[in-house]
């Protein structure tokens, strides 16, 4: 593996972790909003 390949793998892992965190936060926010709508 060349240095460029290693950098690409690290970048892909970082983007994947960020994407997972964004999706999880979005789902949580959506769920909380739905609960708020039913409570009011």
pLDDT band at 1 (very low <50, low <70, confident <90, very high): low
Q: Give φ, ψ of 2 to 5 degrees.
A: -85, 170
Residue written as tokens 């690409």?
8
Q: Collapsing DSSP states into helix, strand and coil, what is residue 34?
A: helix
Per the structure, the count of domains in the chain is 1
pLDDT of residue 31: 85
Q: What pLDDT, on a 0 to 100 scale, did the predictor assign at position 40?
A: 65
Tokens of 24: 């999880």
pTM of the complete model = 0.54
Predicted confidence (pLDDT) per residue in 3-39, tens digit: 899 999 999 999 999 999 999 999 888 888 777 666 6
What is the residue range of 21's domain? 1-40
């Amino acid at each position: 593996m060349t240095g460029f390949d290693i950098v690409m793998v690290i970048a892909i892992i970082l983007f994947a972790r960020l994407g997972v965190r964004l999706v999880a936060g979005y789902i949580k926010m959506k769920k909380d909003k739905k609960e708020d709508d039913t409570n009011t």
